[in-house]
Amino acid sequence: MARRIILCDGAALARLWSRVGAGETEELTWVPRESDARARPPGFRTLPGGLSADAIQKLDTKEGDGFAIVTEDGPFVRSAVSAIAAAAPHAPILVLSDKLSAGDLPEHPCLRHTGLRSLLRDDADQEFEHLSDLRRVVQIRSLLEKRARVGILLQPDPDPDGIACGYALRALLGRKRSTAPLVSFGEVHRPENRAMVQALDIEVRTIGPSDLDEFDGIALVDVQPTVFGDNMPARVRSIDVVIDHHPERAGYDAVMADIRPSYGATATILTGYLRAAGIEIGPKLGTALLYGIKSDTQLLGRDTSRPDIDAFAFLHTYHSPALLRRIERPALPTEGLRALGRALSHTRVEDGLHILVLGRVREDVIPQVADMGMQAEGAEWAVAAGIVNSDLVFSVRNVGHVRSAGEVVRAVVEGLGVGGGHRSMAKGIIPIKTFRKAHGGLDRKRVRDVLHVAFMRAIRGEP
């Protein structure tokens, strides 16, 4: 087995290492300093004959062995590196030093430098963060455990972050949907969010403000009471728990508030809670939280903090790729596939713009077709349009290095409907009535021609 040869400069560093404990494949050596007492640090052997290429040679290093040099001294690190380079030219070297900087280190083709105490420091800092999360968990639990019914209130038309956090808070409280239901003043509306609650079998009950009276405990996640504006029910003006990542707002009271505006998702806070409390994270919970972070940060792009990335990496082990796929790629209905077939038979990419006109379809088909549309050769922009109820709905995607999709859609719908979105994804809605009035009809060719002209104009920034 490949060995790690630890080379410590003096007794103090060697003792620190032996207090931490040697790894199984580690061989501990040290070079005494003049000031050091004779006592050998436990587990260490003295480098025979002092720091020299000869001494390193005697260690009989094999292919794959590596060295760690532990020192705070420039001359020591330089002679150690040159001794190792002479005796074992291919051996990699790790320099562990808190005081030396890159300029103190000699040239070597395979050398890394990191702190020694700072390694422990980082771990200790992280443990203290877990501890402060655990303290909050204990606080939340003791606050709510005696309550018969706890309402977990999400924002109206809750998004994946809110839904995941409600679900996680219930797991944290060890409750069922009967004693801690997820509730909202507006139903889950967006197709992708509906796909999430369906795939994960999470129920979000739509309630009216007066229904809050049936609860003797209320927790808000991914939202603060002020979001309800002038319609804020008296019952939420003073509540038990608020956990959120939106900017902190005044105008309400909470016994326990954990607001972290630097975070990209509230799911990151809840992930920290579950982790600190040692709660088992099953595939549904893992997928919910991962998707919450993914969708709020647009896959760790927008407004992402270090804790979001850590939580995402942590959850990745626990999530179910199959469940995530069902959320992100909901099954296409046969009707939707037929509509896609008709759209594809007339398809063409012109000026980098790929427009697919679907006719009447289920709304969740449209964004999936837009994703697909980007796969066409030469497509920098993909637009999928379909008729849903009495609206023309379209989803827009782009390659990312062009004008913002949100801006383009806002320009396209101006004066006709509503729309918006982000850099590379956007959605627009134009009432059929308005479209007909402006363009005379709604047949496939006309829709495509009108959208083509409107999009090209908006992409080029023409008025």
Residues that bind Mn ion (CB under 5 A): 161, 222, 266, 296
CB 264 to Mn ion: min, Å: 8
CB 218 to Mn ion: min, Å: 19
Q: Which is nearer to Mn ion, 161 or 364 (CB)?
A: 161
Q: Which is nearer to Mn ion, 296 or 308 (CB)?
A: 296
Q: Which is nearer to Mn ion, 73 or 192 (CB)?
A: 192
* 106 Cβ neighbours under 8 A, 6+ residues apart: 77, 78, 81, 82
CB 297 to Mn ion: min, Å: 9
CB 222 to Mn ion: min, Å: 4
Measured CA to CA, the distance from residue 117 to residue 168 in angstroms comes to 36
What is the DSSP code string of 257-297? EEE-TTSS-HHHHHHHHHHHHT----HHHHHHHHHHHHHHT
Q: Which is nearer to Mn ion, 266 or 424 (CB)?
A: 266
Measured CA to CA, the distance from residue 374 to residue 311 in angstroms comes to 30
Q: Which residue is nearest to Mn ion (CB)?
A: 161
CB 181 to Mn ion: min, Å: 20
Q: Which two tokens stand for residue 163?
A: 């839904």
CB 134 to Mn ion: min, Å: 23
Q: Which helix (H) or strand (E) holds 446?
A: helix 444-459
Q: Which is nearer to Mn ion, 27 or 159 (CB)?
A: 159
Q: Which is nearer to Mn ion, 36 or 303 (CB)?
A: 303
Measured CA to CA, the distance from residue 91 to residue 102 in angstroms comes to 20
Q: Which is nearer to Mn ion, 222 or 240 (CB)?
A: 222
CB 161 to Mn ion: min, Å: 3
Question: Are the C-beta atoms of residues 239 and 215 closer than 8 Å to each other?
Answer: no
CB 355 to Mn ion: min, Å: 32
DSSP 8-state symbol, 1: -
E-strand ranges in 103-226 read 111-114, 150-154, 182-184, 204-206, 217-221
Measured CA to CA, the distance from residue 264 to residue 70 in angstroms comes to 38
Q: Which is nearer to Mn ion, 85 or 223 (CB)?
A: 223
Q: Where do we find the tokens 């992402």?
A: 304
Burial class (CB in 10 A: 0-12, 13-18, 19+), 306: exposed
Q: Which is nearer to Mn ion, 136 or 354 (CB)?
A: 136
* 38 Cβ neighbours under 8 A, 6+ residues apart: none
CB 450 to Mn ion: min, Å: 36
CA-based torsion, 309, 315, 317, 323: positive or negative: negative
